[in-house]
Amino acid sequence: MSRVLGVWVEVEIKEYDEDLNFWDVIAWRETMIPDEDSVDAYISDVEASLSESQKRGKVYTNTLVRCSCGEEIICRKFTNECDECGELYNKYGQHLNPREEWEDEY
Ligand SMILES: [Zn+2]
C-alpha cells in the first residue's frame, strides 16, 4: 500500500551579494512535515535562523508519498511516476491507475 507521509517543504535561502548588488540563492532548506498545520511554523523557524544578510526566497510545498514499492516520491506535478516501479500519483499523493487504463479526455 502507498501512503502519504506528509508535506515536503522546500525553502529558498538568499544572501545579499554586495559586489553584484544581487540576492543570490545560496541554499535550500528541505524537510518533511508530517502535519500540514506545522508548515507555517517550520517556515518561521527557518526565517528566524537566517543572518541579517540572508532572507527567505520562494517556498514550495508538495505532498510526499511512500510508494507501495518503498520508494519516496515528491508529488510536484499533475502526474508523478515512481522511478522504481512506475506507479502513478497525482499532485495530492493519490494513487492513479496505469496510463493505459485512462479514458481519453474530451
Ligand atoms: Zn514505486
As a whole number of angstroms, the distance between CA 38 and CA 41 comes to 5
Of 6-20, 41-55, 89-103, where does mean pLDDT reach its minimum?
A: 89-103
Q: How many angstroms does the Cα of residue 16 sit away from the middle of ligand 1?
A: 41
**Which residue do the cell numbers 502526474 mark?**
79
Query: pLDDT band for position 23 (50/70/90)?
Result: very high
CA of 40 to the centre of ligand 1 (A): 30
Phi, psi of 36, deg, nearest 5: -55, -30
Among all chains, which residue has been given the C-alpha cell 540572508?
Answer: 54
> Residue 104: which pLDDT band, with cuts at 50, 70 and 90?
confident
- Sketch the domain layout of the chain as residue ranges: 3-101
Position with higher pLDDT, 75 vs 106: 75
pTM: 0.86
Q: Give distance in angstroms: CA of 66 to centre of ligand 1.
A: 8
Q: Is residue 57 scored above 80 in pLDDT? A: yes
- What is the C-alpha to C-alpha distance for residues 93 and 76, in angstroms, rounded to an integer? 10
User: Which residues are in the CB-under-5-Å shell of ion ligand 1?
Assistant: 67, 69, 71, 82, 84-85, 87
Q: What is the pLDDT of residues 75-101, one digit of tens each?
A: 999 999 999 999 999 999 999 999 888
Residue 35 C-alpha cell reads as: 502535519
Q: Is the pLDDT of residue 106 over 70?
A: no
